[in-house]
Structure 1
Amino acid sequence: MKAFNNGSSIENNKRNLGKRLAKDIIEYYNINPAYLHTGKGEKVLKVRPYHKKTFQPQTVDHAESVPFFDVKLTQLQGFPDIFGESTPEYYVNYRPFNDCTAYLPIYGDSMYPRFANGEIIAVKEVTNRDVILWGEAYLVATDERANGMVTVKLLYQHDDASKIILRASNPAYGGDTVIDKASIIRLYIIKGKITRNQL
């Protein structure tokens, strides 16, 4: 009840917006601080300038930040450089995954319980495709020989060294998909996941 009264007091101009609440609002909604204080300028920033822990303004360094693409995997099909054709929503500076190539959301349940619908995965491009961690999750982009498929699956070794097995982690999505290794145009290991409120 106290929090509601405080909010009501601020809304009715009986109390000023405190520094701590202002920082929380700026960080959560990505509000331009200049706009919040003066009413001038861009309302919502396209790039997050605040670090989660300190809320101190930072210069956005894209070399240390990772682009977030709010796209479905089906939207990435048919592009040789699947992220090069898309515009990032913003950049994320989250130290555990700053060496990654991109963040993107998971849609659907084929990888549940490893990845739930709506979670964000951090992917890093694999430069040496001869070194694959079997049983781990990867983002796989293929050419027309595998129907231009872009999917997240667990990778397993095939008896034929020129092929690879793609498998869902959700047992409700039975059946393996076998593709030629040569049809893979991009391969990204999934280094981890975060939720949207961690962005």
Structure 2
Amino acid sequence: MNERVKLIRKQLGMTQEQLAQRLGIGKAALSMIETGKAGLSARNRNILVQELNVNPDWLETGKGNMFNAEPDLTAYMHRTDNSLPLQSVPLYSIEGTAGLVPLFTDQAQSKPVNFIHIPNLPKCDGAIYIVGDSMYPLLKSGDIVLYKQLRDINDIFWGDMYLLSIDIDGEEYVTVKYIQKSDRAGYVKLVSQNQHHADKDVEISRIRAIALVKASIRMNSIR
């Protein structure tokens, strides 16, 4: 069962700190569970099953589907997050704003295509549709990510998911990736959820804009 806890965390795209916070235990305790040095308590098992929709049969035997239903991938928050009872989050079109950098530079002048209303959501600056499959199955093309802009890349949480604008030969490349520490000085490592996309080290100086992904909305159908 212990190794399946790690598989669940990876599938949810959570760091050990985030899942440990959700389970109400320390990061070290979760690490011991994942490595088989400690058992999974009945309380933590119930949280996985009841709150994250993990299939109890799969958790015990590894047979069947990992989840009984679509897991709530946006239910965790950082300890510093303050949720708001209700806020109107502007939804922008990247094409309409000519990219992420102009949007972040002068958001007041950017016209939203709509507004998103979600109760008890952490404070967000905006939302955009994503393109591409690098974060599949966690995110797919056409889903919406809600973000909080960062002014300083030194404020990042290693292992968390970010919306980035990267300069590639003078052109803007907008993507959603996990950010991890790189072994190369002056670089960060961009990691995809999709295993078909290789990790990539990128110079910090090439990151033109960055925002922490606070929540996501899955678009299951457009009809």
TM-score scaled to structure 1, two decimals? 0.56
Letter in structure 2 aligned against 1:185: R
2:139 aligns to what? 115
Tell me the equivalent position of 2:174: 150
More helix by share: 2
Question: Could you tell me how far 1:73 is from its partner in structure 2?
Answer: 10
User: Is 1:187 aligned to 2:210, yes or no?
Assistant: yes
**Structure 1 residues 166 and 67, CA, compared in 2 at 3 Å: closer, same or farther?**
same
- Determine the C-alpha separation between the residues in 1 that align with 2:172 and 2:130: 18
2:123 paired residue number: 99
Supply the distance in 2 between the matched residues of 1:139 and 1:194 (Cα, whole angstroms). 15
State how 1:1-199 maps to structure 2 within 5 Å.
Answer: 64-71=87-94, 76=99, 79=102, 81=104, 84=107, 86-97=110-121, 99-143=123-167, 147-173=171-197, 175-196=198-219
Q: What is the SS of the residue equivalent to 2:178?
A: strand
**Post-superposition CA distance 1:148-170 (Å, at most 9, x none):** 22211111111234111112210
Structure 2 unaligned segments of length 5 or more: list them: 1-85
Determine which structure has more spread, i.e. the larger CA radius of gyration.
Answer: 1
Task: Give CA-to-partner distance per residue, 1:27-75, whole Å, 9 cap, x none.
Answer: xxxxxxxxxxxxxxxxxxxxxxxxxxxxxxxxxxxx9421011446995
1:82 to 1:166, Cα distance in 2 relative to 1, 3 A: farther
Could you say what the CA RMSD is over the residues aligned between the two structures, in angstroms?
3.1
Percent same amino acid at aligned positions?
A: 27
Query: Closer, same or farther in 2 for the Cα pair 1:162/1:74, shift >3 Å?
Result: farther
1:126 partner letter: L
Deviation, structure 1 residue 119 = 1.8
Contact 2:104 2:149 in 1 (8 A): no
Q: CA deviation at 1:80?
A: 7.1
Q: Residues of 2 paired with 1:119 and 1:179: CA distance?
A: 25
Output the TM-score relative to the length of structure 2. 0.50
- Conserved? CA contact 2:188–2:203, under 8 Å: yes
Report if the CA contact (8 A) 1:72-1:105 is conserved: no
2: CA distance between counterparts of 1:153 and 1:168? 6
Structure-2 separation of matches of 1:78 and 1:128:
14
Inter-partner Cα distance in structure 1 for 2:200 and 2:137: 19
Deviation at 1:196, TM superposition (A): 4.9
Q: 1:144 & 1:75 partners in 2: Cα distance?
A: 16
Offset at residue 135 of structure 1 (A): 2.0
* d(CA) in 1 for partners of 2:116, 2:105: 19
- In structure 1, stretches of 5+ residues that fail to align are 1-62
Paired residues, number: 134
Relative to structure 1, the CA distance from residue 148 to residue 176 in structure 2 (aligned partners, 3 Å threshold; closer, same or farther) is same
* Contact residue 99 and residue 172 of structure 2 kept, 8 A: no
Report the Cα distance in structure 1 between the residues aligned to 2:191 and 2:170, rounded to whole angstroms.
Answer: 15
